[in-house]
Each structure stands twice: as structure tokens, then as C-alpha cells.
Amino acid sequence: QVQLVESGGGLVQPGGSLRLSCAASGSFFSIYAMGWYRQAPGKRRELVAHINSGGSTNYADSVKGRFTISRDNAKNTVYLQMNSLKPEDTAVYFCHREIIGGAWGQGTQVTVSS
């Protein structure tokens, strides 16, 4: 069973930056698409960014131009670089192996506040 472990969350002021990491156990990491999702209190989990096995990416409109998803297949890791953070980016961020029934990480809290 694949395990995903997120890290890099924390408290940051508006306009600041954070880099999230998601390390995956197991084999064949490179063949799977990966996604970053977030869930704010009282809201549904939403897709933030997606990267396929070839490195093509897409983003939620709310984060385009501010967030960048990337992957390092040699390290079995997917990243989310978040710049120009806003209070509305506050949420728990999860990574996901993008297949039906795919593994989820435990989440990492991101809080944007002055």
C-alpha cells in the first residue's frame, strides 16, 4: 500500500511563500499523475493543482500564476510552491495519487494570517 507524507505547512503572512512536499513510498511513482488538494473549515475538498506522468500541469483558477506544482521522480516526491499567499489559501493541503481509490496523505496545515 502506497503511503504519502506531506510536509512544509505552517503559518505565513499574506504575500509570503511556502513550499509543500509530498513523499511517496513504493514503486512506479513516475507513472502516476499526482494532485494537490485543499480543504478549508466547513468547505469541500478542492483540487488545487495536478501534474501528470509527463509533467503537464493544470491549476485551479484561484491559484493560477501563484502556485507551481512539480515532481522529482528520482525522489518519489511532488512539490507545491505557493507564492503571494492570501488568507483565503488557509486550509489543510493534501496530496493524492490520481487514480480511483488512490492514496491520500494525512495533510499539512497552511495558515495565512497577519
Asked if the model's pLDDT at residue 8 lies above 90, the reply is yes
The band of 101, judged by pLDDT with boundaries at 50, 70 and 90, is: confident
Count Cβ atoms within 10 A of the Cβ of residue 95 and give its class: 0-12 exposed, 13-18 middle, 19 or more buried. Answer: buried
CA distances 30 to 27, 50, 72, 97, Å, are: 8, 14, 9, 11
Bridge-based pairing state of the strands 77-82 and 108-112: unpaired
Mean pLDDT, all residues of the chain: 95
What pLDDT is recorded for position 49?
Answer: 98
Asked if the model's pLDDT at residue 103 lies above 90, the reply is no
* Chain segment 37-81, per-residue pLDDT in tens: 999 999 999 999 999 999 999 999 999 999 999 999 999 999 999
Q: Which residue has the higher pLDDT, 79 or 102?
A: 79
Q: What angle do CA 46, 49, 52 make, to 5 degrees?
A: 125
Mean pLDDT (whole number) for 27-42: 93
